[in-house]
Structure 1
Amino acid sequence: MSQTLLGRLMRTKSADAEAGHEGGHGGHGSGELNRSLGLFSLVMLGVGATIGTGIFFAMGEAVPKAGPAVIYSFLIAGLAAALTALCYAELASSIPASGSAYSYTYVTIGEFAAYIVGACLLLEYALAASATSIGWSEYLNNFLSHAFGWEIPENLRSPLIVSGENGNEMHWGNFNLPPMILVTMCCFLLLRGSKESATVNAIMVLIKIAILVFFSAVAFTAFSTEHFKPFNPYGLTGNGVEGKGVLAAAGTIFFSFIGLDTVATAGAEVKNPKRNVPLGIILALLIVVASYIAVAVAAMGAQPAAEFDGQEAGLSAILEKVTGQGWPALLLSAGAVISVFSVTLVTIYGQTRILFAISRDGLIPRSFRQVSPKTLAPVFNTIAVCIMVGLIGGFVDSGYLWDMVSMGTLVAFSLVSIGVIVMRYKAPNMPRGFKLPFGAWTIPLASVAVCVWIMSDLSKTTYTVFAIWISLAILGYFLYGIHHSKLANKGD
């Protein structure tokens, strides 16, 4: 039975059909994943994908934009993430799917919107993994310098494409080797299966939290209120200076909350997902926000805001200044090397599961949903993602990446929030393991409003690149997805 174009764009899957996709235990390359993750492993996935990026790297990007008021930026980003996390929790409790925001949008709003959300998620995950792998290079070099007195040659830890005062600068002969090595290690680990990857990640996350507690304790010994003056030099929106202000810094920081979406991407591999996925999202958020605020306050109290600009391996450098000794910096650099490994690992994991979900629906080629009969890991999918992430990490300056990750995250989060309202209208009596307080509208609309507020202060370049990416995604949908959709073939 033929459909109008609008009908095809807005066709939806039922929540029962989506959950049915996730009910198997996998086997023989059939395209099913294995339910092997408990609540602890799930929370560690969320914390592992989140803590590290915002603290180990983003301080150097965000503090020059907002000064000490970057603490407000963390609070604003955390508020937006908290509101959205509650929306994720309700949808995850009724739609335990591997595609997170993509799958939720497919059930609630429709196929075309879901495809666009999928494109946003793929953008944010790929660039987030690349950006964190670049930051790993800084801390690895810092660790090697303190431990062995040896530094990686400059041309082997500098990107080919660098953002200069007059635009792009090409530094021929340069490439950043450590990110490529890191991504390769993540690839091998992910190909062994999700359970093994989750176990390694949990160990790394516990080490990471211990290191950040150590940093805070040492940094607070040098705490000075003078470092918070002037507290808010650029105001909320920059006081007329483009790219400055609390909101601009919040936009830069927001990418680091991508870990909340990563929890939802694991829906197909979680035991008792209707209980554990929403609980995992909320617990991960609480741990992350508390850690970010504690470390941000400690770092700002230990060092003047002006010194954050361009500071490499920032937290390690702060400890060295505070103590006047090398071993605390060495310890923190070692912890950061481990921590950022876990961030990159889980971020790549999230992207492979989103590709799996989109391919399972027929919107991209079937090779992205084929899994290994032995490990039940999506092999082609994982290798393809790691090649792309490794190349970006090896050749592109991280300065191009942070705001783009935030843009993709904010768009996806906004549509998830809208999806809660739609789902309450379409299926008011659906069983929900978690239900938002204050009715169907209050928290979702507040979440959208805060996300749009943060987006409003992102740069024009970010909007331009994002528009190009979405245009390419739309082209891909009309050339391939709309014709190969499983819903189209079923006549739904």
Structure 2
Amino acid sequence: MIFDRVKPLDAILATAEKKGLHRSLGAFQLTMLGIGAVIGTGIFVLTSEAAQKAGPGMLISFIIAGFVCGVAALCYSELASMVPVSGSAYTYTYAVNGELLAWMVGWALILEYAVGASAVAVGWSNFVVGRLSAAGVHIPAALTNADSLMAHISVAFGAPVTADLQRAMDVGGYINVFAIIIVAFVTWLLVIGTTESARVNAILVAVKIAALTAFIALTLPVLNSSHFGSPAEPFMPTGMTGVLGAAASIFFAYVGFDAVSTAAEETKNPQRNVPIGLIGSLGICTIFYLLVASGAIGAIGAQPVMDAAGHVLSPGTPELAGRCANIIASGAIEPLVCSKEALVHVLTVVHQPFVGWLVGLAAVIALPSVVLMMMFGQTRVFFTMARDGLLPEKLASVHTKFRTPHVVTIVTGFAAAFAAAFLPVGKLADYSNSGTLFAFFMVAVSVMVLRKRDPNRARPFKTPAVWIIAPLSMIGCIGLYLSLPLTAILVLPGWGAIGLLIYFLYSRSRSYVGRGIIDVVDDPAMQPETSKPL
């Protein structure tokens, strides 16, 4: 049978004790890690993507996405407090639903973390180019995006050459060099060490919160209520379909909180600190998101851009890039949905250019913390899968000096840099969301199965009303997944098919559980200095 390999929870905990990472993080650091992972590209960059899909109705989108993440966080908290080891949803699924589904979750998490890191790197690149341009340093478009490359590819596959698409080919670029640079820097930082990374992250989180607070203070007093709904500017110009579509994209702005659970194995007193980090970071970020989105909408409006026929253009497409270029060339004020630096653009329009420059600078300084947390999560998932024999053992190597999984970190860095070099931020975010939603769905399933299968196991944190919360999480994940663009919906099964091939051709025969190699507490190979009662 293919669903017969379940790794016992006691064995998972024993493996962590035998081959584990150093515990150095507390509740404050975890909460800062969570905020660092959550507040980032989603609010600094994807605000314009959400506005193009839903207009002012993106406020409802933020609430929907936040609610789905909230119920998922409650499920995560129970499992993370019971199984405080690396691996996140992969580990939980292995312990409850078996190896095959665990592999599929771990494979899907590549979309969440590695592709998500690429998306944030592209967002950071946009701010760097904007700050350099404001300082009079012009960077050729060929090195800042791949709009022209994507437009040429679209034409090669039969897309008609419209005026908007031609404009994208004329003014777009071919590779995003700055995105590659930031991924390389974060890779180096993660190789150095977890504690050092967390200290840097705490500083960057403070910078981001200060920037968003300044934005809120300057935009809320000047908001125009007509931007939230009027005959000329409807609140939901694309209807509920657009609101759900925006929620599916905005979901990316929240999901970083689950990276906290991947740090459980490196956390002091994880039974207490992991739930605090998960729920605390999500609550703080939700408040900021709603206030920032309200300020942006109220200050300059958030109506989507249409093509010549009056149809709403899809975010991240060469056609939208070309249309926006034409609008700007005509001398009109750049719409919010066209800006690659949404918050900076809003402050500039409301005559606060200096503060806008500072907010842009804050994004340049702080967004690397999100790249850091995304890649941190990815390397820990890969590390755990390699430790279980499902990936080459070399990936589980721990650096002799820094005590970090350096090999898998470098491999992840190369993959993330490649994706960031050629794909736009919106499409990367949607692809990332498809994997994340699958992982969240499986966590909700695992919580319910484990409640039935092992009701007496100690649960330092229990999901309240689990038979309501977990099903709500599952329904929310399915709803948001079906609201993604078609290409993003198809990415998950396509990526999953590749994962299944690798599993059956390589991983299944090398699995430690399948070969009967399961660590136990009294394993004589366990190092005495790290062994302790479970």
Give the TM-score of the pair, scaled to structure 1: 0.92
Residue of structure 1 equivalent to 2:238: 234
The CA deviation at 1:173 is: 7.6
The CA deviation at 1:491 is: 6.8
Residue of structure 2 equivalent to 1:317: 345
Instruction: Output aligned runs, 1:389-468, within 5 Å.
Output: 389-438=416-465, 440-468=466-494
Contact 1:410 1:451 in 2 (8 A): yes
Deviations 1:289-333 (A, max 9, x none): 11111111111111111322221211001111112x531121011
Q: Distance in 1 between matches of 2:151 and 2:436?
A: 23
Instruction: Output aligned runs, 1:19-34, within 5 Å.
Output: 19-23=13-17, 31-34=19-22
| Aligned-partner residue type, residue 459 of structure 2 | R
1:264 aligns with 2:291: no
Contact 1:23 1:268 in 2 (8 A): no
Q: What SS does structure 2 have at the residue aligned with 1:428?
A: coil
Residue of structure 1 equivalent to 2:291: 294
| Aligned-partner residue type, residue 255 of structure 1 | F
Counterpart of 1:488 (choices 502, 514, 526) is 514
* Cα distance change of structure 1 residues 469 and 161 upon mapping to structure 2, 3 Å threshold: farther
Task: Detail structure 1 runs of 4+ shifted over 4 Å in the superposition.
Answer: 163-173
Residue of structure 2 equivalent to 1:157: 144
Residue of structure 2 equivalent to 1:225: 225
* Cα distance change of structure 1 residues 215 and 359 upon mapping to structure 2, 3 Å threshold: same
The CA deviation at 1:113 is: 0.4
Deviations 1:65-97 (A, max 9, x none): 111110000000000000000000011111112
Deviations 1:256-287 (A, max 9, x none): 22212100111110111111111210101111
Counterpart of 1:276 (choices 265, 273, 276) is 273
| Aligned-partner residue type, residue 453 of structure 1 | G
Aligned-pair identity in percent equals: 41
- Mark the runs of 5 or more structure 2 residues left unpaired by the alignment: 160-164, 304-334, 519-534
Deviations 1:333-380 (A, max 9, x none): 111112211111111111000000111111010111101011111111
* Cα distance change of structure 1 residues 399 and 14 upon mapping to structure 2, 3 Å threshold: same
1:80 aligns with 2:99: no
The CA deviation at 1:163 is: 5.3
1:361 aligns with 2:349: no
The CA deviation at 1:22 is: 2.3
The CA deviation at 1:395 is: 2.1
1:326 aligns with 2:350: no
Contact 1:163 1:400 in 2 (8 A): no
Residue of structure 2 equivalent to 1:242: none
Q: Distance in 1 between matches of 2:263 and 2:362?
A: 26
Residue of structure 1 equivalent to 2:401: 374
Contact 2:430 2:484 in 1 (8 A): yes
Q: Distance in 1 between matches of 2:390 and 2:149?
A: 33
Contact 2:116 2:428 in 1 (8 A): yes
Q: What SS does structure 2 have at the residue aligned with 1:305?
A: coil
Contact 1:163 1:397 in 2 (8 A): no
Counterpart of 1:97 (choices 81, 85, 95) is 85
1:204 aligns with 2:204: yes
Q: What SS does structure 1 have at the residue aligned with 2:240?
A: coil
Counterpart of 1:63 (choices 42, 51, 61) is 51
What is the root-mean-square deviation in Å for CA atoms of aligned residues? Answer: 1.8
Contact 1:97 1:266 in 2 (8 A): yes
Residue of structure 2 equivalent to 1:190: 190
Q: What SS does structure 2 have at the residue aligned with 1:36?
A: coil
Q: What SS does structure 2 have at the residue aligned with 1:405?
A: helix
| Aligned-partner residue type, residue 490 of structure 2 | T
Structure ID, larger Rg: 2
Contact 1:32 1:376 in 2 (8 A): no
* Cα distance change of structure 1 residues 192 and 185 upon mapping to structure 2, 3 Å threshold: same
Q: What SS does structure 1 have at the residue aligned with 2:150?
A: strand
The CA deviation at 1:464 is: 2.1
Residue of structure 2 equivalent to 1:130: 118
Instruction: Output aligned runs, 1:111-130, within 5 Å.
Output: 111-130=99-118
- 193-202 or 389-398: which moved more? 389-398
Q: Distance in 2 between matches of 1:254 and 1:420?
A: 22
Residue of structure 2 equivalent to 1:143: 131
Q: What SS does structure 1 have at the residue aligned with 2:515?
A: helix
Instruction: Output aligned runs, 1:470-481, within 5 Å.
Output: 470-481=496-507
Q: Distance in 2 between matches of 1:420 and 1:431?
A: 13
Residue of structure 1 equivalent to 2:308: none
The CA deviation at 1:155 is: 1.1
Contact 1:139 1:313 in 2 (8 A): yes
Q: Distance in 2 between matches of 1:354 and 1:255?
A: 19
Q: Distance in 2 between matches of 1:377 and 1:449?
A: 37
